[in-house]
Amino acid sequence: MFTTLPPLSLYVHLPWCVRKCPYCDFNSHAAPENVPQRDYVDALLEDLDLDLATAAPRPLISIFFGGGTPSLFSPEEIGRFLAGVGQRMACASDMEVTLEANPGTIEHGRFRGYRDAGVTRVSLGAQTFNDQHLKALGRIHGSNDIQRAVDELRQAGLDNFNLDLMYGLPQQSREQAVADVATAIELQPAHLSHYQLTLEPGTVFYHRPPPLPDHDATWDMQLECQALLAQHGYEQYEVSAYARAGRRCRHNINYWQFGDYLGIGAGAHAKLTNAGVERTVRCRQPRDYLGRAPADRVTERRAVSGSELSFEFMLNALRLRDGFAISQFEERTGLPMAAIDSELRSAQARGLMKPVPGAWEPTELGFRFLNDLQEMFLPGA
């Protein structure tokens, strides 16, 4: 039984890119010559109207424009959408509004336009500062474009920005991976996302794998990069997320703490708590999405309950260094802690989790072998 509803966020999917990267398994599509920005924003607002009928009223704590490449959309259309949200919903006074941006799509003055539209945070897809590696990854930008984009951010007064970095790149050395992090630190982002390149099914790299560093080499990269980030004040608070004090990403934390989120746009996912927990998915293809009536855009709707509910909570919460509060598990799942007591005790016996006052958190060993720890909470495991 749910006595308290979780915080509410909004995810907005903008599905077009200049071109598809060979490692990308996100729902992204090569942009047409003229992206139908106005029609798409109109469809997003229709989508939002549909969701408001099922979402219990709560103020939005965050909005996240993901993609695709959201920076292909003009500041004017981003602003029109945000104004439409404000007319429909209550928004927290300190609401975080994040826009993902590709350094290769930023024109002079554009970040100032996004700031004026209501964007408070930018996530910049740098990936690497090595031009050879950028080319291997199929990126449209060069290392100079990253520096230029950061300069534009600062001129616009957007100092709350994230840099996305990858390691374990084709033929990358440990020294090169560490150099990427060192260069990123020099740019003084508020937040860094640092994750290993993986070969996801359905991608070009999966079907034609490039030569990647082996497991031991990537582990060495991870450890040395983590040490460098810690040395410069970036705290690892999640598997791939590092932040300076007070600059954690509130939107993503809401995911990991099993909060609620509306998801609108082509292929967007949503999670809402009412009498129970329900997940929905929108149709993936942009043309299909634009061509359907709002009620027909939802292609999947399923209730999450019982052992599946506790597993989904743990799948997310265990990504956080701080783990989860006992009260949070009970509030977000509607289940008693007894539902996972045996799994927690087993994980503790293996040295993967430890109890702390009012909470549970992964140990260093549990964080290192996170997949093994998460699997212990699978239904029937």
Q: What is the pLDDT of residues 131-181, one digit of tens each?
A: 999 999 989 889 999 999 999 999 999 999 999 999 999 999 999 999 999
Q: pLDDT-derived band of residue 33, with 50, 70 and 90 as boundaries?
A: confident
How far is it, in rounded angstroms, from Cα 368 to Cα 222?
Answer: 11
How far is it, in rounded angstroms, from Cα 120 to Cα 103?
Answer: 17
> Which of 360-366's residues contact partners 24+ apart within 8 Å by CB, and which partners?
360/323, 360/324, 360/326, 361/320, 361/321, 361/322, 361/323, 361/324, 362/318, 362/321, 362/323, 366/318
3-class state of residue 323 by DSSP: coil
What's the rounded mean pLDDT across residues 356-367? 96
- CA distances for 352 relative to 50, 122, 373, angstroms: 43, 35, 7
pLDDT score, position 380: 74
pLDDT score, position 381: 65
- CATH architecture for segment(s) 305-381: Orthogonal Bundle (1.10)
Q: Could you tell me if 279 and 271 are in contact, meaning their C-beta atoms sit under 8 angstroms apart?
A: yes
Residue 334: is the preceding peptide bond cis (ω within 30°)?
A: no
Domain ranges of the chain: 8-254, 305-381
Residue 360 gets the label, from left (phi > 0), alpha (psi -120 to 50) or beta, of beta
Q: Which CATH class is domain 8-254?
A: alpha beta
Residue 239 gets the label, from left (phi > 0), alpha (psi -120 to 50) or beta, of alpha
Alpha helices by DSSP H, listed for 318-349, are: 326-333, 341-349
pTM above 0.85, yes or no: yes
- CA distances for 323 relative to 253, 277, 364, angstroms: 11, 21, 12
Classify the C-alpha dihedral 123-125-130-131 as positive or negative: negative
pLDDT score, position 179: 98
Alpha carbon 163 to its chain's center: 12
